Chains A and B, each alone.
Chain A
């Protein structure tokens, strides 16, 4: 029998991965929309982007809250350490999310198009991943100090650490790569040749920085947290798979066919890397303060949460399936006929 805290962290990790994908599409789309406006190519892709995003932007936001509430529920100690340390970066992320979410709705359901809204929408799309990635950096340990029961974040260390910057860069370029390859696929579903061409260029462009940033972050991780690095090296085959999927995606994008498969390869690439990273982190949630076993909630609550999870997923998966069916795989909708 697998322990409930292990189920908990696995499911939460899956949800974080889900957020990584859907949020990347969203964040990147905001940036591309703004960039296209600057380079006067917005007529090509804006309608495509808003057709996909309008029905799903709210769902993206829930993924995040879901992960957050879940981790605090399963591991209440995380609230104490991360909550105390992340007060400022966390609040900034909340404010950015607030600006982004509401301005999206204001622009798309309400007022006329405004370049200010679009700028805020595009800029926050890059700043949010940067501010959220701070949490990942913190989990490596060495940035939080606890004195007399007061937990605080050591900003100087954080801002001068090459690890934290390499993670920020990785987060941003991955967002653009994931988003670019998804929107390429979406444009090909819509048989929108001009959008397809533009998005394909974006996707190909951001692929190289993604792999470079991943390697850089990996190298800095080896210097910062030897244990984590070693654990990940033991999972070398997962990392190799990830690189393999990356190469396949790149090849498919480059040769200009089967964009759906290309996007699946990108998803698998990040899936392998993300799980190699996560499994390598075991047993720590926050090195060295919180471990999965030590920080877990009461058993009865853990089991109740797992049951709620299963029940909730039974509701969610068919509903998400419906959304995909209606807005992603319905060719008429994607092409703008409905």
Chain B
């Protein structure tokens, strides 16, 4: 069999990113949840929330470790696997890549300080203040790296001269047209996913061991965050769709199987294509696509037939898009239902079925993130820099990529499995209630000691 380095380069990068995205999402979102919990705890003088922040931090560090090392992997793979891409695009995207590392640096420093300074300051707000650089650093690194991806989708800020980028304007390239909607969508969906993860953990424990005060509070707090970011993600998704309709119509058209340009285009949900490329068995929402794309039921939506066939993205992205959107709405619906039950006294919000639904939201949220990324990336094919460089021109020519793919696959399997084992061991033998009691005892000892001294 002939080894195709381009194909294996794609697989290797896809593999690393798919794995990294899980930990990157946790890395971006969980610091915010920790900051919220610690703030609520200090504010309400409720040690339950402080313990929540502590426990989340402990689990967070483990996932950060995997996030850091896979992040290092993808940073190096950009040059190792796509040398031609970096040689060309490095001139234009170096700035955000560089600033991303700065943001990450910043986060790493303060995470180290945060971890080792619990109870070291007299004023609890000082320790809480340390979460701000962590949350900001995590958000900023997501921001910068997403602008790089925005550039690959919507290249701007340069002039093309004889195969090279000239007259580069780094800031304009960074703040490209695609960047705002992408960043907005990435951040809101990451926070949504992080909150869904922690709510899912609380709900899961409640199903197995019964509802305790700690988990009730934790669930309630996180469902609130899920609701807020569920709404914001919906808005972000709408903004992104409108961006696509205007600037990257072929991507939207591929996602919607919208082959011919027309006014008042239907939104197609699921279904399949027959050999003649006709849509079968799908749910049609009349004129909804036009409304989704332009806010007007009769607007004209560009069809895929306006683009040369060798520039069509794979039509499979339709399913990625549909499932991603559905997951977003499921998450929003579950959180709405939860608060409906909270407000409507006759219903118990800790009902087993609702808790099960909340548990199910966790894998769904991560799946949604993965599908969203897959849609964004596969929907840009065949380009690596849309309109300027095709994927096959960018990859390494070395046949060694294939064995490396399997080596990295093995590495990620080992890391993933170990991460799960370590996290389980960390929390399983150390239930929140037991830890809470010993924590309160320690506090008491400390305060009596202080009393004796003064």
For residue B121, give the distance in angstroms from its CB to the closest CB of chain A. Answer: 11
B73 near A: Cβ within 8 Å? yes
Partner of A87, one of B58, B90, B101, B396: B396
B232 at the interface (CB under 8 A from A): no
A sample of 9 inter-chain contacts (CB < 8 A) reads: A54-B116, A61-B72, A65-B75, A68-B76, A83-B86, A99-B411, A102-B66, A300-B169, A304-B95
| Cβ distance B269 to chain A, nearest Cβ, rounded Å | 40
Interface residues of B in 50-107 (CB under 8 A from A): 58, 61-62, 64-66, 68-73, 75-84, 86-92, 94-95, 97-102, 104-106
Residues of A within 8 A of B337 (CB): none
- The 10 closest A-B CB pairs, nearest first, are A73-B94, A76-B90, A105-B65, A79-B86, A83-B83, A110-B422, A55-B112, A98-B69, A83-B79, A80-B87
> When the two chains form their complex, are residues A298 and B72 in contact, meaning their CB atoms are under 8 A apart?
no
Residues of the A chain whose Cβ atoms lie less than 8 Å from the Cβ of B117: 326
Question: A11 to B91, alpha carbons, bound, how many Å?
Answer: 18
A87, B80: Cβ atoms under 8 Å? yes
What interface size band does chain A fall in? 35 or more
Most buried by A among B81, B84, B115, B422: B422
Interface digits, B191-224 against A, CB 8 Å rule (1 contact, 0 not)?
A: 0000000000000000000000000000000000
Query: Residue-by-residue, is A284-310 near B (CB-CB < 8 Å gives 1, otherwise 0)?
Result: 000000000000011011001100110
Query: A59-B105, A73-B94, A308-B99 are contacts. A101–B65 as well, Cβ < 8 Å?
Result: yes
Q: Interface size for chain B: under 10, 10 to 19, 20 to 34, or 35 or more residues?
A: 35 or more
Which one, B287-295, B384-392, B397-405, is touching chain A? B397-405
B327 beta carbon closer than 8 Å to chain A:
no
Interface pair A87/B398, CB less than 8 Å apart: yes
Is residue B225 within 8 Å, beta carbon to beta carbon, of the partner chain?
Answer: no
B82: nearest residue on chain A (CB-CB)?
A83
Alpha-carbon distance between A338 and B120 when the two chains are bound, in angstroms: 7
Q: Is the CB of B106 within 8 A of A106?
A: no
Does any Cβ of B come within 8 Å of A82's Cβ?
yes
Given contacts A81-B83, A91-B77, 7 further A-B contacts (CB under 8 A): A58-B111, A66-B105, A83-B81, A87-B81, A98-B69, A298-B168, A301-B92
- Asked whether A88 is an interface residue with its Cβ less than 8 Å from the other chain, the reply is yes
**Closest chain B CB from A33 CB (angstroms):** 17
Per-position 1/0 for A262-283, Cβ under 8 A of B: 0000000000000000000000
> Does B419 make an interface contact (CB < 8 A)?
yes
Q: Is B423 an interface residue (CB 8 A)?
A: yes
Cα(A70)–Cα(B426), bound, Å: 37
A219, CB-defined interface residue at 8 Å: no
- B99, B116, B133, B398: the one contacting A152 at CB < 8 Å is B398
The verdict on A62 contacting B104 (CB below 8 Å), with A101-B69, A105-B65 known, is yes
Q: Which A residues contact B (CB, under 8 angstroms)?
A: 54-56, 58-59, 61-62, 64-66, 68-70, 72-74, 76-84, 86-88, 90-91, 93-95, 97-99, 101-106, 109-111, 150-152, 297-298, 300-301, 304-305, 308-309, 312, 315-316, 319-320, 322-323, 326-327, 333, 338
Q: Which residues of B contact A152 (CB under 8 A)?
A: 398
Contacts of B64 in A (CB 8 A): 58, 105
Which chain A residue lies CB-closest to B174? A304
Neighbouring B residues of A55 by C-beta, 8 Å = 112-113, 115-116
**In the complex, A326 Cα to B130 Cα: how many Å?**
13
Which residue from chain A places its CB closest to the CB of B104 in the assembled complex?
A62
Tell me whether B106 and A319 are in contact (CB under 8 A): yes
Docked pose: A83 CA to B82 CA in angstroms: 8
Interface centre among A68, A150, A320 (most CB of B within 10 A): A68
CB atoms of A98 and B72 under 8 A apart: yes
Cβ–Cβ contact A69 & B75, under 8 A: yes
Cα distance, A64 to B68, chains bound together (Å): 12
Let me know if B168 and A315 touch, CB within 8 A: no
In the complex, A93→B97 CA distance in Å?
21
B contact residues around A72 at 8 Å (CB): 78-79, 86, 90, 94, 97
B397 pairs with A298, CB closer than 8 A: no
Nearest CB of chain B from residue A134's CB, rounded to whole Å: 13
How distant is the Cα of A81 from the Cα of B415 in the complex, in angstroms? 30
Q: What's the least CB distance linking B56 to chain A, in Å?
A: 13
Q: Which residues of A contact B404 (CB under 8 A)?
A: 87-88, 91
Bound Cα distance A151, B397 (Å): 8
Taken together as a complex, chains A and B put the C-alpha atoms of A268 and B326 apart, in Å, by 60
Which residues from chain B contact A59 at a C-beta distance below 8 Å?
105, 108-109, 112
Chain A residues with CB under 8 A of B167: 298, 300
Query: A83 to B77, alpha carbons, bound, how many Å?
Result: 8
Complex Cα–Cα for A106 and B416 (A): 12
* Pair B116/A327 contact, Cβ less than 8 Å: yes
Instruction: Please pick, from A79, A110, A300, the residue contacting B62 in the complex, using a CB distance under 8 A.
Output: A110
CA distance A44 to B328 in the complex (A): 54
Contacts of A73 in B (CB 8 A): 90, 94-95, 97-98
Task: Determine whether the beta carbon of A86 is less than 8 Å from that of B80.
Answer: yes
Q: Is B171 an interface residue (CB 8 A)?
A: yes
- B425 CB–A CB distance under 8 Å: yes
Does B165 belong to the interface (CB within 8 Å)? yes
Name the A residues within 8 Å of B165 (CB-CB).
Answer: 298
| B83 & A79 in contact (Cβ 8 Å cutoff) | yes
Chain A residues lying within 8 Å of B105, measured Cβ to Cβ, are 59, 62, 66, 312, 316
